[in-house]
Copies of this chain bind each other. A is one copy, B any other.
Amino acid sequence: MNTHRPFKQALDRLTQAGLRPTRQRLALAKILFDGEDRHVTAEQLHGEAVAACMTVSLATVYNTLHQFTEAGLLREVVVEAGRSYFDTNTSDHHHFFYEGSGRLIDIPGHHLVVSGLPTAPDGTRVARIDVIVRLSDQG
């Protein structure tokens, strides 16, 4: 039954996250989670979906990406004004951002540490810490 494994994988992800496995969601989940970790924009994912001969609007791609993010399947990373990436790696990690090409990659390993953080102001708690290391050309 190997032919159906990517399908089952995507299906399981959705049902475990409490999301109904609709056709569009399944197809997008298959593209997103069938392989290694990825960083995609809504635009990119929409392009891939169309290339894979599925009919889906960009609006639905946005909505789906946000639903996946709320469900904990994705993490949103904002690097530039008007440009969100969605990261299939939801574990605690940080990013390199190539200012030239706009590419975003995970910082490998777990060596990067943020220390000396002041306590969160009263009535708040730290929801997440985002570290973006911006790289420009020329070593």
Contacts and interface: CB of A to CB of B under 8 A. Distances in A.
Given A78-B80, A81-B76, A123-B139, A128 B117 contact: no
A98 interface: yes
Main secondary structure of the interface of A (DSSP, over half): strand
Interface of A: 76, 78-84, 96, 98-99, 107-109, 111-118, 120-139
Contact of A129 (B124, B133, B137, B139): B133
A131 B83 CA distance: 18
Number of copies: 2
A98 B82 CA distance: 20
29 contacts: A78-B78, A78-B79, A78-B81, A81-B82, A81-B83, A81-B84, A82-B82, A96-B120, A96-B121, A98-B124, A107-B117, A107-B118, A108-B118, A109-B118, A112-B114, A112-B116, A112-B117, A114-B114, A115-B115, A120-B139, A123-B139, A124-B136, A124-B138, A126-B133, A126-B134, A127-B134, A128-B134, A129-B131, A130-B134
